[in-house]
A and B are shown apart, each in its own frame.
Chain A
């Protein structure tokens, strides 16, 4: 097997193990690593939204960015670049987040949930693949957010600096932040262990180019399944781990922090997959690129955090299934009318962005 395939498989196994360990140490079930959920928790901790159950400064996000930053510097791959349609990327980042939170998880958590037996994630996977497929149609037609350009090292280091300052502040002045006392935000692995694991995962993700969108996208575009190996390695590791720990529960109902409103799980991840193709990578990849000096990805991450805040301020995010009522009937959660409007509106906006940026490319050519 080729060395590059081995690296991406090892990274996938590492991510899977990290998710299992972090869950065992306190992170919410089937949420060992979730970029969307953890950025949402950070948004809450900063007071950008007021959902009391999802507020915590997740060291996983800090570690991923700083791990990628250290690896990029060490391997001399750090390149400070920016200027590729940053405002459009900000909007796309927010929409990707709204789509992910409708499903209650980013593409990485989708795999983790699937590895725990949550079949709602299978519905989401179909949506994710459809979204990527639609995105690749526009890529083939010439979609581009245009070129980036070399910028100052300060500009390229904005997100690592923000994350470093966030980490220092949460340790030095924790009273500045909001912390959930119940709900998913209150469940977390010990800070230093989560940070250490995320630093290693961030470094390996930078080295391997692991991307949840890239695997499916490149297989569709070029028949190149290289990145798909990482995707599969995460899933297999999680399944084996959950089976060993007796935490594999196959089914649609009763899944942790999940809802079984199929249409909106599907459409949420169509939005997430499509938007991520236009951005050039999944939410995890955006963190890694931002850590490697890409200012456009930093803007995207700020867009995602803003999207998370909007999702909770306007009630757009999914609500987990409440479970059985007093009559013994299973009650399905899902998303509100506002959430449905946001997902449909998001798809329309992504379509407009796709069309506008494809046409311009065709004219230039």
Chain B
């Protein structure tokens, strides 16, 4: 689980990128609280071969990246 709440782009995507490059996980959950970060992580994840599901809870978003 990556907690990128309170961080503005590009930091959330950089965190996801580091994890993907380092461990290439089959599944990865990411918490963010910025819609721009949701869009950017989704775009990066799809380009990296992941499917992305997003759930919204108030001001927070949980992205579930799956191979």
Contact = CB atoms under 8 A, between A and B. Distances in A.
B19 to A, nearest CB: 12
Given A139-B10, A147-B7, A148-B8, A79 B34 contact: yes
Interface in A7-48: none
B5 interface: yes
B35 A222 contact: no
A217 B10 CA distance: 9
Contacts of A140: 14
Interface residues of A, number: 25
A113 interface: no
B1 interface: no
Contacts of B25: none
B2 interface: no
Contacts of A84: 6, 8
A149 B6 contact: yes
B59 A218 contact: no
Nearest to A79: B59
- DSSP majority for the B interface? helix
Contacts, number: 53
Interface residues of B, number: 20
A261 interface: no
Contacts of A79: 33-34, 59
A224 B47 contact: yes
B9 interface: yes
A224 B14 CA distance: 12
B14 A221 contact: yes
Nearest to B34: A79
Interface string A70-83: 00000001010100
A335 to B, nearest CB: 31
The 8 closest A-B pairs by CB, nearest first: A147-B6, A280-B8, A148-B6, A222-B44, A77-B35, A209-B36, A144-B11, A147-B7
